[in-house]
Amino acid sequence: MGNARGFLTRRKGGKGWHWTDIVTWVWLIGGLIVMFGPAVWLTFSSFKTPAALAEFPPSILPYVTQQVKVDGYEKPLALFEAKMPDGSTQVLAEVRRVGIVAQMVDPKAPGQIIRVNIADRQPVREIAFATENYTKPFTQFDFVQYLWNSVFVTVTATLITLIVNSMAAFALSKYEFKGRNAAMLVILATLMVPLSVILVPLYSIISTVGLFNNLWGVILPTVATPTGVFILRQYMLTIPDELIDAARMDKASEWQIYWRIILPLTAPALAVLAIFSVVWRWNDFLWPLIVLSRRELYTLQVGLSIYSGELNVQWHYILAMTVVTMIPVVLVFIFLQRFITTGIAGSGLK
């Protein structure tokens, strides 16, 4: 036993535990709970029925009270485990509740009403996943439409971002021309202008060109990201110019050089930008909220916020749809998190 303990607590270099080790593990385990806990809790909650959601204290897993069909009663009745006056327990179905007394019947002998104090009974419960939380918003509300809008915006915006930004980055990294520095400066300067500063004029421009209440009005203003040009340009600068010169000697056109030589070689940076762009566009909220005012055009984020802002919040649907909204990002996190973390650490960009 002592050996096992020694083995478990041994440290590199044979030193014992220092107080900083304890702090480290407390912080890390605490971080694990605080960072993942809320999302996990949300996911568990999303499988609960409205009745289970309204319960306090809440259960961790989704339970429902078992119900039973009893002869002579139209609706199914909830099953309870009741403590009888003689000390025995019996499984009874509740007919109705009057004050603190529940009128119950034995499902096997439904003729006789038994009165039980509500403090003396416990619901009989089983784990059940309320999957209708997921299916109903898709079949009865517009969430399929929202999902489609979100996917359309994300995919289109990402594709355009990749093409437009890589073209600009190519010109800015491989050509010497008048005004190159000016163009660089303009792009840099726009890093300073977040959306919230130009909300009003951007809205009026979008309205003027007829893109209000149009998914393209959400897509276009976001596709020319300075960040994207920056990442790609930095990467393209590392591609040797000799490659381009050789291609020119072989009579390749500049366009061919761009898409046959530069683009394939920039693939890693393009991948990073694509991941970023997908996460950004999927998560966009304020701008779509302003541009889209018709229900059938909402993206998931806007739809969720509108539904959750309603007076009578249907939490069971909101929670389920929040989980759906989370899925792509969680997938990105699981499979591509390494790309992103090294990308950020390398460039300091978000």
91 is a site residue for other proteins (CB under 8 A):
no
Of 311-350, which residues contact other proteins (CB under 8 A)? 315, 318-319, 322, 325-326, 329-330, 332-333, 337-338, 340-341, 344-346, 348, 350
Please identify which residue in 17, 50, 58, 335 interacts with other proteins, judged by CB under 8 A.
Answer: 58
What is the rounded CA–CA span in Å between residue 18 and residue 292?
Answer: 57
- Name the phi and psi angles at 64, rounded to 5: -125, 150
Please identify which residue in 5, 12, 108, 294 interacts with other proteins, judged by CB under 8 A.
Answer: 12
Least separation in angstroms between CB 90 and other proteins? 30
53 is a site residue for other proteins (CB under 8 A):
yes
Of 185-214, which residues contact other proteins (CB under 8 A)? 186-187, 190-194, 196-205, 207-208
Q: Are 251 and 257 spatial neighbours (Cβ–Cβ below 8 Å)?
A: no
Paired tokens of 323: 């989980």
Q: Which one of 66-74, 110-118, 239-247, 284-292 is the stretch in contact with other proteins (CB under 8 A)?
A: 284-292
Least separation in angstroms between CB 275 and other proteins? 10
23 is a site residue for other proteins (CB under 8 A):
yes
Indicate the burial class of 287 (C-beta count within 10 angstroms; 0-12, 13-18, 19 or more): buried
Q: Specify the residue, 46 or 93, whose C-beta has the smaller distance to other proteins.
A: 46
What is the rounded CA–CA span in Å between residue 319 and residue 49?
Answer: 11
164: nearest Cα among 229, 238, 244? 229
Q: Which one of 2-10, 23-31, 75-83, 132-140 is the stretch in contact with other proteins (CB under 8 A)?
A: 23-31
- Name the phi and psi angles at 338, rounded to 5: -65, -40
Least separation in angstroms between CB 319 and other proteins? 7
Q: Which one of 51-59, 78-86, 94-102, 129-137 is the stretch in contact with other proteins (CB under 8 A)?
A: 51-59
14 is a site residue for other proteins (CB under 8 A):
no
Report whether the peptide linkage leading into residue 57 is cis, meaning its omega lies within 30 degrees of zero.
yes
- Name the phi and psi angles at 200, rounded to 5: -65, -55
Please identify which residue in 3, 20, 112, 181 interacts with other proteins, judged by CB under 8 A.
Answer: 20
Please identify which residue in 3, 8, 16, 56 interacts with other proteins, judged by CB under 8 A.
Answer: 56
Least separation in angstroms between CB 100 and other proteins? 21
Number of residues that bind other proteins (CB under 8 A): 95
Least separation in angstroms between CB 77 and other proteins? 25
Least separation in angstroms between CB 87 and other proteins? 30
81: nearest Cα among 112, 53, 131, 122? 122
45 is a site residue for other proteins (CB under 8 A):
yes
- Each residue 215-254 as x (binds other proteins by CB under 8 A) or -, in order, gives -----xx-xx----x-----------------------xx
8 three-class SS? helix
Listing DSSP states for 97-139 in one string gives: EETTEEEEEETTEEEEEEEEEGGGEEE-EEE---THHHHHHHH
145 is a site residue for other proteins (CB under 8 A):
no
Please identify which residue in 9, 10, 17, 32 interacts with other proteins, judged by CB under 8 A.
Answer: 32
Listing DSSP states for 178-243 in one string gives: TTHHHHHHHHHHHTT--GGGSHHHHHHHHHHTT-TTSHHHHHHHHHS-HHHHHHHHHHHTTS-HHH
Least separation in angstroms between CB 126 and other proteins? 21
The residue type of 298 is: Y
Helices 267-283 and 143-174 pack at an angle, to 10 degrees, of 140
